Chain A
Amino acid sequence: MNDILRGLAEAGQLVVTADADLVEITARSLQVSLGATIIASAIGLPFGAWLAVNRFRMRRTVIALLNALMGLPPVVVGLIVYVLFSRSGPLGVFGLLFTPTVMVIAQVIIITPIIASIAHQAIRELWADYHDLLISLNTTRGQRIKALLWDGRRALLTASLAGFGRAIGEVGAIMIVGGNIDHATRVLTTAIALETGKGDFALALALGFVLIALAIAVNLALHMLTRTEKDSRW
């Protein structure tokens, strides 16, 4: 309990004094995780919608696979990405190992299934509602997906935010592919792991509280920007 209180106090102090190291790793955390969320959304949202609207033979298998991929252990993804981008690996020539770029790549792999799966579920329900109307209006497949994506945008935002939540709190993959290098690839979660390992629980907790506050702030900001819950009926 003592550690938690000290952690809270230290978090407050770091934030109020705008501690330079804290600002740096927080900015990098946002950079990596927001970047990964944007890319993963660009892939996952349309794919989820496409999957909801199209009927093809392997569909049930693809959906089951997608849901299973949500449970991909991040550390396994990290290992695979490491092996691919290692200098001894097939993609080593790009020299991306131990950079924020490869951290984004690893996180995109981890969160795209989550975003696609939630998007698929939301769009599927909406499609069930709109089905007869959109067929009756003689819409093309592209027009249907557009209408579903636009009208379902609130649910899609939830999907993206779920992906973001997973990314911002992720540590296993980015530790391996990023290396937690000071002033280069250290982010909030890997810094927390490091300080915990050193036994400095107060600092680790402080960073943890900053991370939680950050996640809340991003969510709030997005909800305010999109004016959800403004005129709810109940």
Chain B
Amino acid sequence: MVSTILPLKLENVELRRGGRRILGPISLNLSGQGITIIMGPNGSGKTSLLRAMHGLERVRRGKVSWQSDIQTARAQQAFVFQTPIVMRRRVVDCIAYPLLLTGAARSVARKAAVEQAASVGLLDSVDLPAEVLSGGEKQKMALARALIRRPEVLFLDEPCANLDTKSMAEIEAILTAARDAGTRIVMSTHNVGQARRLADDVLFLWDGYLHEQGTKAQFFTATQTAEAKAHINGDLIP
């Protein structure tokens, strides 16, 4: 798909909490296609960066701007949280919810939700209350919900952090399929292997700064900084 909202530009974006700097200043430019993986040790600001890009954090220092107006931009994004946020409804109603928000008829939305559920392997669970799903199933449901409006940009915050291997594999498959269908994906992970499997390009954060970035090939085989190298190796960074 041709993007109407990219490129996303961050200019000297800085986030502070309680007087402490937790992110930035960071400047970057997000455009093109494929999957961008955000990597870095815990506390390096991965979640903060994702939330700032998506608009979940109020950015007081610096600027976040999309190519289009803010309303169009908001409508064309989706976010998957590390711990899936599950509404107290049936699975099919959870997945259909974003469509109902844009004014779709209930029957139309429900039908689309069932198809989406099938595409993530949850067809058998559509009528169950969402709370009874397992962790992996909940995350797949969240993914189905995020994709149902065919967003141009999809953000994910360590989506497989608490999941078993099988679920992780299933989710990675869904993500690559979405990427192939044209969705621009920005995802954080602390699993280096997953990063290798999925990344088209990498943003490496350290201590709240954008420490290194590059294409997959550049980052993994021609790593420049010591910290990035240590992280890829699985060493504790000094």
Contact = CB atoms under 8 A, between A and B. Distances in A.
Do any CB atoms of chain A lie under 8 A from CB atoms of chain B in the complex?
Answer: yes
Interface of A: 126, 129-130, 132-133, 135-139, 143, 147, 151-152, 231, 233
Interface string B48-87: 0000001110000000000000010011011101000101
24 contacts: A126-B88, A130-B85, A130-B87, A132-B56, A132-B81, A133-B87, A135-B55, A135-B56, A136-B54, A136-B56, A136-B77, A136-B78, A136-B79, A137-B98, A137-B101, A138-B71, A138-B75, A147-B87, A151-B87, A151-B88, A152-B88, A231-B129, A233-B131, A233-B132
Contacts of A133: 81, 85, 87
A137 B97 contact: yes
Contact of B74 (A138, A147, A152, A231): A138
Contacts of A151: 87-89
Q: Which 3 A-B pairs have the closest CB atoms?
A: A133-B85, A138-B74, A136-B79
B69 to A, nearest CB: 13
B98 A132 contact: no
B133 to A, nearest CB: 12
Contacts of B81: 132-133
Given A138-B75, A233-B132, A132 B101 contact: no
B101 A139 contact: yes
Contacts of B78: 136
A231 to B, nearest CB: 8
B33 to A, nearest CB: 22
A137 B54 CA distance: 11
Contacts of B87: 130, 133, 147, 151
Interface in B115-141: 129, 131-132
A132 B78 CA distance: 11
A151 B87 CA distance: 7
Nearest to B146: A136
B73 to A, nearest CB: 9
B88 to A, nearest CB: 4
A143 B101 contact: yes
Interface in B168-188: none
B80 to A, nearest CB: 9
A110 B77 CA distance: 46
B187 to A, nearest CB: 15
A126 B131 CA distance: 14
Question: Which residue among A126, A132, A138 has the maximum number of chain B CB atoms within 10 Å of its CB?
Answer: A138
Contacts of B54: 136
Nearest to B129: A231
A208 B79 CA distance: 56
Nearest to B73: A138
A129 B86 CA distance: 9
Question: Which residue among B78, B87, B89, B129 has the maximum number of chain A CB atoms within 10 Å of its CB?
Answer: B87
A10 to B, nearest CB: 46
Contacts of A139: 101
Contacts of A129: 85
Nearest to A151: B88
Contacts of A138: 71, 74-75, 101
Contacts of A231: 129
A104 B90 CA distance: 38
A151 B94 CA distance: 11
Contacts of B56: 132, 135-136
B132 to A, nearest CB: 7
Contacts of B89: 151
A143 B100 CA distance: 10
Contacts of A130: 85, 87
Question: Which residue among A129, A130, A136, A147 has the maximum number of chain B CB atoms within 10 Å of its CB?
Answer: A136
A132 B132 CA distance: 21
Contacts of B88: 126, 151-152
Contacts of B98: 137
A176 B164 CA distance: 66
Contact of B85 (A132, A143, A152): A132
B4 to A, nearest CB: 16
A234 to B, nearest CB: 12
A126 B71 CA distance: 26
Nearest to A150: B89
Contacts of B75: 138
Question: Which residue among A133, A143, A151 has the maximum number of chain B CB atoms within 10 Å of its CB?
Answer: A133
